[in-house]
Structure 1
Amino acid sequence: MAESIDAYYWIHSDWAYFGGPRLKEMARRHGLQVNHRPVDLATVYARTGGIKLPYRSAERKNYRLLEMRRFRDLLQMPINLEPRFFCVTGHLPSWFVIAAQAEGHDVADLSQAIMKAIWVDDQDAEDGRTLVSIANGLGLDGEVILARAIDPRTELIYMRYTNEAIARGVFGAPFYFFRDEGFWGQDRLEMLDARIASALGRSGLG
């Protein structure tokens, strides 16, 4: 079986948005598959002691915004610091990504496009019409994916990913695993790259 990276993330995560392009490039360079596993971050937080953004202190909220500006400038990735459709559940777009993956599609671009819709384009990713439009724009059949997304069996996969993530020690998002070693946050991607390069005997970070 080919080696892979397991990526657990909340589809509304700004940090997953920032990390998406580098994760895709890293996987391409090392010849690895990425298993996209969207999770219900509210459940993860409830079971691991995390604090939802609205309930964090002003100091934490302010520093988060500072870091967002820093990574926006560092990575040259546009982002709306206060998007219109944020802090909703993320269930439907998560199911949509899971459904597309079950249909046999590489969902890296789809997932990134959904996060861009949230963080750059101020679109409502909880609206099925938005998701269908995004998928169609990537050459996928959005209606077919949406039909599978709202199938109750897809929600079961979503909750399985969430419980699996918690069992593996996930407490935030994004969280990446290679050979069962976890790396929390898009700012650990360089460490993940180096770990993969070392394990596979290849050159990383380039």
Structure 2
Amino acid sequence: MTAAIDFYFDFSSPYGYFASTRIDELAQKYGRIVSWHPILLGVVFKTTGSAPLPQLPLKGDYAWRDFERTARFHGIEYHRPTHFPLPTTQAARAVLWLQNHHGEDLAAAFAKAVYHAFFVEDVNIAEPAELVKLADALGIDGRAMDAGASSPQIKEQLKAEIEVAMAKGVFGSPFVIIDGEPFWGFDRFDQIEAHLKSGRPTALRAVAPPDTSKEKKPA
């Protein structure tokens, strides 16, 4: 059986949102499935010492410009959110609860709905009531999801999932691992497709070592 594509994302990540609109289609093209893994960049940043791009000196203004430019270039709907960054913990926990109780497909559909609500409709997804509405629209019992996402079990599961992700080298969103090969960022999707197309552990051209066979040897 072909290995799944591991897709790590944080709902506060614009590039993660862009990737979420493409990852399933790309996987299906090459006969793969996607395992969606919600993470919290705030936890990761405590290890890497980083911060949300718009909050970084000099990089911030560029990042906002690049979000809009990237969306236009790829034909992806995007609206700069009013509330940014914001806590995404409850949304991440909700995805895990849905995976446990309703399966991967519905959980992924919910994740896409959350991303669209935040980066297109400017919905404050940090509000549990908004997540309930999104769930209800998909035929999910939103109140049951909210209660389940707030349970100690799911809280511990998210914590453990993030620890496992970081142990695998995940440090950003989107982060994709295929056949053990890591790819960070939406701008790596061409390389991801090259990898999938080749069917080899890595599709990137390796630089051959210099030929030293003709070098003079010391007398």
Alignment TM-score > 0.5, same fold: yes
Report the identity percentage.
29
What's 1:71 paired with?
A: 70
What's 2:84 paired with?
A: 86
Deviations 1:150-190 (A, max 9, x none): 11111112111211121111221110001111100111112
Please state how far the C-alpha of 1:39 moved relative to its aligned partner: 0.9
1:119 aligns with 2:119: yes
What's 2:194 paired with?
A: 194
Q: 1:104-183 maps to which residues of 2 (within 5 A)? A: 104-106=103-105, 107-183=107-183
- Separation (CA, whole Å) in 2 of partners of 1:75 and 1:101: 29
What's 1:204 paired with?
A: none
Unpaired runs of at least 5, structure 1: 201-206
- Separation (CA, whole Å) in 1 of partners of 2:70 and 2:110: 22
Deviations 1:76-129 (A, max 9, x none): 222222x12321221001111111111114122211110111111121212222
Q: TM-score, normalised by structure 1?
A: 0.89
- 3-state SS of paired residue (1:176): strand
Report if the CA contact (8 A) 2:95-2:108 is conserved.
no
Please state how far the C-alpha of 1:2 moved relative to its aligned partner: 4.5
In angstroms, what is the RMSD of aligned CA positions?
1.7
- Separation (CA, whole Å) in 2 of partners of 1:60 and 1:159: 29
- Separation (CA, whole Å) in 1 of partners of 2:198 and 2:2: 17
- Separation (CA, whole Å) in 1 of partners of 2:53 and 2:195: 31
- Separation (CA, whole Å) in 2 of partners of 1:10 and 1:100: 16
Q: TM-score, normalised by structure 2?
A: 0.84
- 3-state SS of paired residue (1:101): helix
The count of aligned residue pairs is 198
- Separation (CA, whole Å) in 1 of partners of 2:2 and 2:143: 31
- 3-state SS of paired residue (1:159): helix
Shift in alpha-carbon separation, 1:132–1:71, aligned structure 2, 3 A:
same
| 2:85 partner amino acid | C
1:40 aligns with 2:33: no
What's 1:95 paired with?
A: 93
What's 2:205 paired with?
A: none
| 2:79 partner amino acid | N
What's 2:203 paired with?
A: none
Unpaired runs of at least 5, structure 2: 201-219
Report if the CA contact (8 A) 2:94-2:149 is conserved.
yes
- 3-state SS of paired residue (1:89): coil
- Separation (CA, whole Å) in 2 of partners of 1:176 and 1:88: 23
Please state how far the C-alpha of 1:142 moved relative to its aligned partner: 2.1
Please state how far the C-alpha of 1:145 moved relative to its aligned partner: 2.1
- Separation (CA, whole Å) in 2 of partners of 1:193 and 1:144: 38
What's 1:60 paired with?
A: 59
Which of 1 and 2 has greater Rg? 2
